[in-house]
């Protein structure tokens, strides 16, 4: 029976890719050719939230910049977190071209040098003794592998994860994810045994504890968010794994000691700890992995996105050797598991990150940018919170600092003003401007972006009679 159109709820205004503010922007920003191209794109592709229908047409991506068909350049402070080394890095393009000539593909049952070299490199840079690797084509697939591995290794099937988390679009990933968008009843029953707890989010503590300047008051809250993970692990008694982003991409950084407490709870209850570092891995937070800030080693780490250098799709699961328990079965059987071109891209990307000191750049320039954003917060009444680590930064907009009511319309207005000023980024959770620049951004580019941002927030707040 054909699906009735009415079974699909209408997208809510302001949050979808069809908001009135976006239509206003498009009316001024898009010429005839762009409109025609967008109409064809919308006619050809399945529509879904935050992609099709698309915003604009991209014709060029180079370094930290993207350029649209109208010739407008934007500093890309979103980049889906794939562009750590900037777009189109010449050294990466050369390595990919040479690899295509040397060996363009390897069927999965054959070993090849680039795949082995990348696996060795990942074992070198990964925390602790994580060293057994499996490659997939995308992050969502890598999450599925991690979940299956946890089941196989523990003989258990339940998981604990965070509300509001995103772990990918597969059934397993959607089940452990905590965003309504990916868990709707349209896709039917999700995996059984996927428990969720409220995440750390100190500025908006789900348990209602007060904060000061976004920092938790641990004497009061006693880190209830970490205790709740232990509580669920103890009540269930047979959880296979806790899966989470060590620094949440919204962003929110964990309170000090959070991951040590969760690691201990996992160890006490025989559950594995899986860190999803798909957006945060490879230097985004100013350390090679976000969990390095916390000194906590997971049992399984998943990475992707930036690993392909902003050109090719590749993701990886890396586990401690003791978890290599299912050699007679196959749950990561992806066609491109040993692809020499994507693995060469991964290896070269990491070498570029190391040789160009990009992790250090994210640490020092990220600290500088966060200082500037804190300074902005002191001057602008609509900035409720500034948070982040390295090049994972968030600016949460509110109607007023005391009441903290989320200013979602304002955030959208700021976004379109920034696009007009040449800066692109993403809004998370409705009112958080999420800035994730590529690790190659320079001080001048950072200053330019923050100047555009401050002007946009100031003007949009004034126009809305706020702050
Ligand atoms: C935390 C996290 N996990 C998993 C994924 C899924 O990765 P992919 O889009 O490569 O499937 C994403 C993608 O945005 C992500 O941010």
- Show the tokens assigned to 384: 């409720």
Q: Tell me, what's the pLDDT at 16?
A: 60
Element at 142 (helix H, strand E) = helix 139-154
For residue range 372-407, list pLDDT tens digits in order: 999 999 999 999 999 999 999 999 999 999 999 999
Which CATH number does the domain 90-355 belong to among 3.40.640.10, 3.10.129.10, 3.30.830.10, 1.10.3210.10?
A: 3.40.640.10
How many A from CA of 136 to the centre of ligand 1? 12
How many A from CA of 225 to the centre of ligand 1? 24
Q: At what angle do helices 113-125 and 340-355 cross, to 10 degrees?
A: 40
Residues of the chain with pLDDT under 70: 1-16, 467
At CA 213, angle to CA 211 and CA 219, rounded to 5? 35
Q: Tell me, what's the pLDDT at 315?
A: 98
Q: Tell me, what's the pLDDT at 78?
A: 98
> Is the CB of 279 inside a 6 Å radius of any atom of ligand 1?
yes
> Is the CB of 350 inside a 6 Å radius of any atom of ligand 1?
no
How many A from CA of 278 to the centre of ligand 1? 6
Residue nearest to atom 6 of ligand 1 (CA): 168
**Contact assessment for residue 457 and residue 396, using Cβ atoms and an 8 Å cutoff:** no
pTM reported for the whole predicted model? 0.96
Neighbours of 405 (CB within 10 A): 11
Q: How far is CA 356 from CA 5, 27, 83, 135, in A?
A: 52, 41, 14, 25
Residue nearest to atom 10 of ligand 1 (CA): 139
How many A from CA of 279 to the centre of ligand 1? 7
How many A from CA of 334 to the centre of ligand 1? 17
Q: How far is CA 387 from CA 25, 349, 352, in A?
A: 28, 27, 28
Q: Tell me, what's the pLDDT at 7?
A: 47
Residue 190: CB partners within 8 Å, gap ≥ 6? 171, 174, 175, 183
Q: What single-letter DSSP state applies at residue 307?
A: G
> Is the CB of 138 inside a 6 Å radius of any atom of ligand 1?
yes
* Nearest atom, ligand 1, residue 170 CA: 11
Q: Domain spans of the chain?
A: 90-355, 357-408+425-467
Q: Which of 61, 119, 92 is nearest to 351 (CA)?
A: 92
> Is the CB of 248 inside a 6 Å radius of any atom of ligand 1?
no
SS3 state at 398: strand
SS3 state at 345: helix
Q: Which of 178, 185, 142 is nearest to 159 (CA)?
A: 178
SS3 state at 225: helix
> Is the CB of 137 inside a 6 Å radius of any atom of ligand 1?
no
CATH code 3.30.930.10 for 357-408+425-467: no
- Show the tokens assigned to 452: 């555009």
CA dihedral 298, 114, 137, 319 (to 10 degrees): -20
For residue range 89-103, list pLDDT tens digits in order: 999 999 999 999 999
How much of the chain, in percent, has pLDDT values that exceed 90?
A: 93
**Contact assessment for residue 58 and residue 80, using Cβ atoms and an 8 Å cutoff:** no
> Is the CB of 249 inside a 6 Å radius of any atom of ligand 1?
yes
For residue range 310-319, list pLDDT tens digits in order: 999 999 999 9
> Is the CB of 170 inside a 6 Å radius of any atom of ligand 1?
no
At CA 323, angle to CA 319 and CA 324, rounded to 5? 95
Q: Which of 335, 342, 303, 334 is nearest to 319 (CA)?
A: 303
Q: Tell me, what's the pLDDT at 6?
A: 41
How many A from CA of 341 to the centre of ligand 1? 21
Q: How far apart are CA 388 and CA 392, in angstroms?
A: 5
Q: What single-letter DSSP state applies at residue 406?
A: B
> Is the CB of 437 inside a 6 Å radius of any atom of ligand 1?
no
Sheet with 158-162, strands from edge to edge, namely 132-136, 315-319, 300-303, 272-276, 239-244, 158-162, 194-197
Q: How far apart are CA 319 and CA 331, in angstroms?
A: 14
């Amino acid at each position: 029976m054909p699906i009735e159109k009415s079974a699909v709820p209408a997208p809510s205004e302001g949050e979808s890719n069809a908001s009135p503010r976006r239509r206003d922007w498009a009316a001024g920003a898009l010429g005839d050719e762009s409109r025609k191209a967008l109409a064809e794109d919308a006619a050809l592709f399945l529509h879904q939230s935050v992609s099709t229908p698309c915003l604009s047409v991209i014709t060029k991506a180079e370094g930290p910049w993207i350029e649209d068909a109208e010739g407008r350049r934007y500093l890309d402070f979103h980049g889906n977190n794939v562009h750590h080394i900037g777009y189109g890095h010449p050294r990466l393009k050369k390595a990919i071209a040479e690899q295509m000539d040397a060996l363009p593909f390897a069927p999965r049952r054959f070993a090849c040098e680039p795949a082995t070299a990348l696996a060795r490199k990942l074992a070198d840079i990964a925390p602790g003794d994580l060293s057994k690797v499996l490659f997939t084509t995308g992050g969502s697939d890598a999450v599925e592998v991690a979940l299956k591995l946890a089941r196989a290794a523990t003989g258990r099937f339940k998981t604990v994860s965070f509300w509001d988390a995103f772990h990918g679009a597969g059934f397993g990933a959607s089940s452990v994810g905590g965003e309504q968008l990916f868990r709707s009843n349209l896709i039917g029953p999700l995996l059984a045994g996927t428990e969720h707890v409220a995440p750390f989010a100190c500025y908006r503590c789900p348990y209602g504890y007060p904060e000061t300047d976004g920092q938790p008051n641990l004497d009061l809250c006693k880190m209830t968010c970490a205790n709740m993970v232990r509580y669920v692990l103890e009540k269930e008694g047979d959880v296979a794994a806790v899966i989470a982003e060590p620094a949440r991409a919204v962003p929110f950084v964990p309170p000090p000691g959070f991951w040590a407490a969760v690691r201990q709870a996992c160890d006490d209850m025989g559950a594995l700890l899986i860190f999803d570092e798909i957006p945060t891995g490879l230097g985004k937070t100013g350390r090679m992995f976000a969990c390095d800030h916390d000194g906590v080693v997971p049992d399984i780490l998943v990475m992707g996105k930036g690993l392909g250098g902003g050109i090719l799709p590749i993701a990886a699961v890396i586990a401690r050797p003791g978890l290599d328990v299912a050699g007679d079965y196959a749950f990561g059987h992806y066609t491109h598991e040993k692809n020499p071109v994507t693995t060469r891209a991964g290896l070269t990307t990491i070498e570029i990150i190391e040789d160009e000191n990009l992790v250090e750049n994210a640490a020092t320039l990220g600290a500088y940018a966060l200082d500037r954003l804190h300074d902005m917060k002191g001057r602008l009444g609509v900035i409720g919170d500034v948070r982040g680590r390295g090049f994972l930064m968030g600016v949460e907009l509110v109607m007023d600092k005391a009441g903290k009511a989320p200013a979602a319309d304002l955030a959208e207005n700021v976004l379109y003003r920034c696009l007009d000023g040449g800066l692109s980024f993403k809004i998370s959770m409705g009112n958080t401007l999420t800035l994730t620049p590529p690790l190659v951004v320079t001080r001048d580019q950072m200053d330019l972006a923050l100047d555009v941002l401050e002007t946009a927030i100031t003007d949009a707040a004034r126009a809305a009679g706020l702050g």
